[in-house]
Chains A and B, each alone.
Chain A
Amino acid sequence: MDSLRELFITRAYPILEKIMFYQSIKKMALMAALAMPFYAQSSYAQINVFACEPEWAALASSLGGDAVNVTSATTALQNPHHIQARPSLIAKMRRADLLVCTGADLEVGWLPLLLRKSANANVQPGQEGHFMAADHVSLLGKPAVLDRSLGDIHAAGNPHFHLDPSRIAQVAAALTDTLTKVDSANQAHYLSKLESFNEQWQQSMKQWKELGEPLRGKRVVVNHNNWIYLESWLGLIPAATLEPKPGIPATSAHLNRVLEKLQEQPADMLLHASYQSNKPATWLSNKTSLPIVELALSPSEGESLTVWFNKIISQLLSIN
């Protein structure tokens, strides 16, 4: 009997102990798994937002706060017309719950391919998770004639409307509407975010309006036609464009014509997006001593729209 008992203690007991230990681990894991959804709800179950341009990433971050995890497909130093459908972007699109892009054919060279490759049902055209900002604002510069000999024109109108704060406000409202549909659990959160955004945005707009007063009527030469919303908002007057046609790089013949025109009727400054080649602008600036203002067409990473607009205004004012 003793030997049996000893056998039990030395052999069976450790095994039993082990079994009980594993069972307790299992129990804990089960409890943790059950508790997970509650934890997830108590903070936010973040939704993935894929923004095509930094301005929409910034807007989505402001409107979504902690509830959204935002990535931007492009940076302020990239030309949003022409990026490549890189593998990393396909992988990001694959995991997106919401797509926020400009639309109006700005991303026509890469977005359709990304959408098809991603095989993500949530963000396909027609779905709630497919948000095109251009669907919610009116566009300027709709071409009367559609012909490729006129350059790279957009049939729907000029897509660079994020340079107009009032249009941003319109997009913000529409985007909040979409956020509440895509992530209805956080509806109240998004609505309160929009309220505080609007309050702050309208104050900023008032400020910019006052600050920008001295810019009214200034004549500007631009590199590409991507400033028309800024011009109409601040009352700048377009004097000339360095690209002979949209998307066609400046030629020396065209630059000489611009130069002649400017000698007859001088301008005040030269606007130029930081993602574009600065050679034509520098050439013209050397000839005319026109000051160049190199503006970021989009906010940089982590920069809010307000900070970015502040910069634009102060850069423009610094010329005077």
Chain B
Amino acid sequence: MFLFTGELMMRKAFPMAVIAAALLFSESGFADTDMQALKQQLDALKRDYEHRIATLETRLLKAETKVDTQALEVKSARRSTITSNSFNPAVSVILNGRYANFDNDPDDYELPGFSLGGESGLGSQGFSLGESELAFSANIDDKFYGKATIGLHNDGGSTEVDLEEAFIQTLGLGNGLTLKAGRFFSAIGYLNEQHTHTWDFADAPLIYRGLFGDQLKNDGVQVSYIAPTEMFLQFGAEIMSGSSFPGGGEDNGIGASTVFANIGGDIGIEHSWQLGLSHWQANDIEGRTSGGHSHGGVGTDETPSFDGKSKINALDLVYKWAPNGNPSNQNFKFQFEYFDRQEDGGITMLNSGPPLEESSYDGDQQGWYAQTTYQFKPQWRVGLRYDELDSDNSGSDADVLAEAGLDNEGLKPKRFSAMLEWLPSEFSRIRLQYNRDESYEDADDQLFLQYTMSLGSHGAHKY
């Protein structure tokens, strides 16, 4: 039969041939007992063989330099290295915790001119767990990729489970097209698509808080196209149920839609940039409720509810620099986003009256932020951020708007933030952040000490 030669080139060919032979025989109808006997023999052979390979390999290692270069037989046997995540989904857990100190009572927080909804707010004073995240992702087959992210957060003593993302996405549909379906973060703006744990600051920009309740996610379908050009050119559109904030109301088919375009590239080897334009629209919002001008909690309080249509236009710009294009030691990032929202409809104060307080509503809200981060040493990073909002809303009943928190009180909410991060490894981060928050008339000094750590597989981060 086969002779054991110990030659390098035979290492893989031999067991393969045996297995192939075995497979061949099995197909020609061997009896079960014969098969088992053969299998056992094979296994024994394989063990013996593997043992010999191991010893050989160690010997080879010691004597590798003595390998005659002329005798180097090049052999190509395509074989896959199986890593721990090849067949199980990549699992990762993000642990998040913080200590926060606010000079003002965080429950008094408001953004004049903006009705707060969704998860927006400052969170609690003192020690608290931020959002812990559990994410699973994998290529489903050669056509699809899937990801599910479960967020766990504390809400008044009880732990709430929130399905943050659950989507499938096509892999290489061809011609630069990608389809995504399920629940995902909308491609509006720049920061919106990124998970909170990858943000550069402990809290959302004010405009994200004011318009989206921190982040816009929804159930629907996204299609995107990348042009086959030297420059990065991407176009896309989303249609969504529009049921979650800042949409709202009945799930009656398509409630909201988005279109977006991104363009980007490199300048030399050290600089890269991306510019994005996006538009979100919901034509038939019914009963979008928000916190309004809070007086210590919602509940049976009067709650503003919006009906009508809403349009958001956004511009985002990101620029990054790293010496020699090598960001692991030092890097710099500048990020700017501008949003404009126009709304037309009416506001009803639920639980008010009788008679029910109502007003027509013509919303005009803008906001922007600019931030930079600078990693000056492999494990240290600093960042600065400035936020500013402006609004000029009008309606038939100014009192109702004021109660809904939509009167700007003659203010332009502003915030200045600075942070310092220590990054012991790519899996851990400890951040100290200070905010001078002038969101409303009483300026607030805010301090956060936050840790964010990731366990398990660590997915790649977006640009």
Contact = CB atoms under 8 A, between A and B. Distances in A.
B61 interface: yes
Interface residues on B, range: 35 or more
A86 interface: yes
Interface in B238-277: 262-266, 269, 272-274
A135 B81 contact: yes
A149 B272 CA distance: 34
B463 to A, nearest CB: 5
A79 B172 contact: no
Interface in B59-82: 61, 64-65, 67, 69-70, 72, 74-81
A277 B177 contact: no
B87 to A, nearest CB: 13
Given A103-B81, A146-B84, A138 B226 contact: no
Nearest to A91: B232
Contacts of A122: 172
A25 interface: no
B76 A233 contact: no
B83 interface: yes
A256 to B, nearest CB: 19
B76 A174 contact: yes
Contact of A152 (B177, B227, B379, B426): B426
Select the residue from B64, B74, B178, B230 with max chain A CB neighbours within 10 A: B74
Nearest to A111: B460
B460 A110 contact: yes
B65 A136 contact: no
Given A85-B460, A166-B67, A155 B425 contact: no
Given A77-B325, A232-B61, A85 B463 contact: yes
Given A82-B426, A84-B320, A275-B324, A119 B178 contact: yes
Interface string B211-235: 0000000000000111111111110
A79 B328 contact: yes
Nearest to A94: B226
B462 A78 contact: no
12 contacts: A75-B269, A85-B462, A90-B234, A112-B460, A116-B171, A119-B177, A124-B171, A125-B142, A166-B67, A170-B76, A202-B72, A232-B61
Interface string A83-100: 111111011001100000
A209 B69 CA distance: 9
A233 B174 contact: no
B232 A121 contact: no
Contacts, number: 188
Given A119-B177, A119-B226, A249-B378, A85 B461 contact: yes
B228 A235 contact: no
Contacts of B379: 249
Contacts of A104: 81
B173 A121 contact: yes
Interface string A143-171: 00010100110011100000000100110
B43 to A, nearest CB: 22
Contact of A90 (B81, B226, B325): B226
A95 B67 contact: no
A216 B226 CA distance: 52
Interface in B392-445: 424-427
Contact of B64 (A110, A156, A233): A233
B40 interface: no
A113 interface: yes
A105 B457 CA distance: 11
Interface string B354-365: 000000000000
